[in-house]
């Protein structure tokens, strides 16, 4: 329950930051994708189920406020969360480089999926342009922000785990 | 004696692949439902709106306050120099204004003669502040801090200064989602003011980074349309009120079919530095009903 509330607050916090503060400090109209960082990080720290759920709610928020049809972004974020969550069993989340690599790759996949779904289907074929002006800048900016954002999420997550373990010990 | 019912029992857990499957199904269902109807939007919009919008409002007002504070730190000297220049300008403008006043008097007299009326100055408007911009980097839509509680409805036109910004496409109790005319998925029917030729103005992500948007399907056999001509919203648009300034033509090219022309235009509104907008409290449908 405690974890649920913390995750819920984290999602809302990231969404509000992404749509307000980072719009003031954008570079060339590009903002970092905080919600994606959150989905990938929690997927890596907690496993595929958390990744799926967090991705779903992140996407749903974007859909309700900015999407034309509810469910598009929810689907994309959710699948990214699920796939990244599969790596939870293989890697330790403490080292920051691997999560960053996952964030780079998943932001690229996210941008590319958006391009295919929203632009390629409307016969906008100039992929070089979109790659250079939207996908890659967003990827770089997101990665830079994740250097600062990821440790915060990690610390919150380990703190919660400590509390959970302590209460479990008390129970035994 | 051993109990019959295991207390608490094993905790019920759902394997992640089934969770994914269920949520995927839910998403696809939602996409299909929102594609054809809009039954969910009202409830979802008000639910999320009550949580998120107050926060966005707060952060945006803090951000605006900080920008204003930063502006105040400008040097006094530059302000004084500017003051001198402005005073001079005020004198010039006052004389100019009296001349214009006279012209305007003549104009209104003439307009009365022809029973014309400048239309969109008569519309009732309400000011709103932009509190959030699109989470992604693909479209240019934003959220304003007025909603259905303030009497807004879907399809109301948004202007800023004297130019068209976009229209409301979705709204909750105290917020509304605005699709701007520079968004890649938007298209507006426009008219060249000088020659009354119709054309389609469409937003373009690729062109907008160069400060322009595109227009197409201009039929201009007589070559009367020139660079710099004003484009306003047309009479045949079913969403936009007629006669609102969109922008000025910056380039024109012949299409390969030799029948129509296309090109680019500079918008009248500066979308990069937009913070406050005006909502026209009338939709095209209402206006038509009144005039009928």
Tens digit of each residue's pLDDT (9 = 90 or more) over A87-103: 988 888 788 888 999 99
**The predicted structure's pLDDT at residue A38:** 94
| pLDDT mean over B251-264 | 87
**The predicted structure's pLDDT at residue A82:** 93
Q: CA A114 to CA B208: how far, in whole Å?
A: 19
Helix (H, G, I), strand (E, B) or coil at B202: strand
Helix (H, G, I), strand (E, B) or coil at B68: helix
Q: Cβ distance B212 to B264 under 8 Å?
A: yes
**The predicted structure's pLDDT at residue A63:** 85
Provide the 10 A C-beta neighbour count for residue B200: 17
DSSP letter, residue B103: H
**The predicted structure's pLDDT at residue B210:** 78
**The predicted structure's pLDDT at residue B151:** 87
**The predicted structure's pLDDT at residue B222:** 79
Q: Report residue A146's pLDDT band, with 50, 70 and 90 as the boundaries.
A: very high
**The predicted structure's pLDDT at residue A84:** 92
Q: CA B10 to CA A161: how far, in whole Å?
A: 21
Nearby residues of B207 by Cβ (< 8 Å), 6 or more positions away: B213, B214, B264
User: Tell me: the pLDDT tens digits for B96-120?
Assistant: 888 888 788 777 766 665 554 455 5
**The predicted structure's pLDDT at residue A53:** 92
Residues of A in contact with B14 (CB under 8 A): 49
Taking the CA atoms of residue B27, residue B32, residue B34 and residue B35 in that order, the dihedral angle to the nearest 10 degrees is: 140
Q: What is the CATH number of domain B124-292?
A: 2.40.10.340
- A121-136 exposure pattern, b = at least 16 Cβ within 10 A, e = fewer: eeebeeeeebbebbbe
**The predicted structure's pLDDT at residue B268:** 85
User: Tell me: the pLDDT tens digits for B115-171?
Assistant: 544 555 667 888 888 888 887 777 778 888 888 888 888 889 998 877 889 999 888
Does B16 sit within 8 Å of A134, measured CB to CB? no
Exposure of A61 by Cβ count < 10 A (0-12 exposed, 13-18 middle, 19+ buried)?
buried
Exposure of B172 by Cβ count < 10 A (0-12 exposed, 13-18 middle, 19+ buried)?
buried
Taking the CA atoms of residue A58, residue A60, residue A66 and residue A70 in that order, the dihedral angle to the nearest 10 degrees is: 160
| B278 against B288, higher pLDDT | B278
Q: Which two structure tokens, joined as six digits, stand for B55?
A: 């926060």
Lowest mean pLDDT among A101-105, B43-47, B193-197: B43-47
| pLDDT mean over B31-46 | 76
**The predicted structure's pLDDT at residue B117:** 43
| pLDDT mean over A26-54 | 89
What is the β-pairing status of strands B276-280 and B230-233?
unpaired
What is the β-pairing status of strands B245-254 and B198-202?
unpaired
The mean predicted confidence, pLDDT, of chain B is: 80
Residues of A in contact with B48 (CB under 8 A): 61, 64-65
What is the CATH architecture of A2-152?
Answer: Orthogonal Bundle (1.10)
Q: Report residue B3's pLDDT band, with 50, 70 and 90 as the boundaries.
A: low
User: Tell me: the pLDDT tens digits for A113-126?
Assistant: 988 888 888 777 88
Residues of A in contact with B135 (CB under 8 A): 15, 18-19, 31, 33, 35, 62, 65-66
Max mean pLDDT among A21-30, B35-44, B190-199 falls in: B190-199
What residue segments make up the domains of chain B, in order of their start?
A: 16-73, 80-117, 124-292
Rounded to a whole number, what is the distance in Å from the CA of B283 to chain A's nearest CA? 21
* pLDDT of residue B71 exceeding 70: no
Does A20 sit within 8 Å of B63, measured CB to CB? yes
Give Cα separations from A125 to A63, B63, B112 (angstroms).
25, 38, 52
Strands (E), B48-186: 125-133, 141-144, 157-160, 163-171, 176-180
Q: CA A58 to CA A78: how far, in whole Å?
A: 8
Does B206 sit within 8 Å of A129, measured CB to CB? yes
Longest dimension (CA), chain B: 105
Does B205 sit within 8 Å of A68, measured CB to CB? no
Does B136 sit within 8 Å of A62, measured CB to CB? yes
| B252: β partners | B263
Does B20 sit within 8 Å of A78, measured CB to CB? yes
The mean predicted confidence, pLDDT, of chain A is: 87
By C-alpha distance, the chain B residue nearest A132 is: B206
| pLDDT mean over A25-31 | 77
**The predicted structure's pLDDT at residue B116:** 42
Give the total residue count for chain A: 172
């Amino acid at each position: 329950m405690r974890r649920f509330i913390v995750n819920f607050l984290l999602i809302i916090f990231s969404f509000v930051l992404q749509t307000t503060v980072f719009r003031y400090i954008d570079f060339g109209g590009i903002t970092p994708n905080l919600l994606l960082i959150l989905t990938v990080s929690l997927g890596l720290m907690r496993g595929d189920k958390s990744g799926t759920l967090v991705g779903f709610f992140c996407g749903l928020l974007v859909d309700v406020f900015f999407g034309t049809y509810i469910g598009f972004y929810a689907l994309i974020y959710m699948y990214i969360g699920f796939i990244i969550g599969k790596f939870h069993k293989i890697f330790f989340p403490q080292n920051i480089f691997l999560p960053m690599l996952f964030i780079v790759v998943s932001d690229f996949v996210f941008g590319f999926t958006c391009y295919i779904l929203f632009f390629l289907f409307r016969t906008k074929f100039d992929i070089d342009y979109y790659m250079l002006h939207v996908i890659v800048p967003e990827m770089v900016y997101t990665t830079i922000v994740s250097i600062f954002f990821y440790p915060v999420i990690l610390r919150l997550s380990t703190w919660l785990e400590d509390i959970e373990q302590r209460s479990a010990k008390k129970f035994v | 004696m051993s109990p019959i019912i295991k207390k608490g029992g094993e905790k019920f857990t759902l394997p992640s692949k089934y969770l994914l499957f269920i949520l995927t199904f839910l998403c696809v269902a939602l996409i299909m439902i929102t594609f054809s109807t809009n039954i969910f939007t009202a409830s979802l919009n008000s639910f999320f709106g009550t949580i998120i919008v107050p926060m966005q409002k707060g952060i945006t007002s803090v951000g605006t306050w900080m920008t204003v504070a930063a502006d105040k730190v400008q040097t006094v000297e530059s302000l004084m120099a500017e003051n001198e220049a402005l005073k001079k300008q005020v004198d010039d403008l006052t004389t100019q204004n009296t001349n214009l006043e006279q012209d305007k008097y003549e104009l209104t007299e003439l307009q009365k003669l022809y029973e014309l009326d400048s239309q969109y100055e008569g519309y009732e408007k309400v000011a709103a502040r932009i509190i959030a911009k699109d989470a992604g980097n693909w479209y240019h839509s934003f959220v304003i801090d007025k909603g259905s509680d303030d009497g807004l409805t879907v399809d109301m036109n948004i202007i800023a200064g004297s130019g068209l910004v976009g229209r409301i496409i979705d709204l909750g109790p105290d917020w509304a989602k605005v699709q701007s005319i520079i968004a890649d998925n938007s298209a507006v029917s426009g008219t060249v003011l000088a020659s009354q030729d119709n054309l389609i103005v469409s937003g373009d992500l690729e062109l907008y980074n160069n400060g322009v948007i595109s227009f197409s399907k201009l039929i201009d056999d007589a070559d009367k349309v020139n660079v710099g001509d004003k484009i306003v919203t047309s009479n045949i648009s079913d969403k936009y009120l007629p006669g609102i300034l969109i922008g000025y033509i910056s380039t024109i090219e012949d299409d390969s079919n030799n029948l129509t022309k296309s090109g680019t235009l500079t918008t009248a509104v500066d979308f990069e530095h937009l913070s406050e907008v005006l909502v026209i409290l009338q939709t095209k449908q209402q206006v038509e009903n009144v005039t009928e």
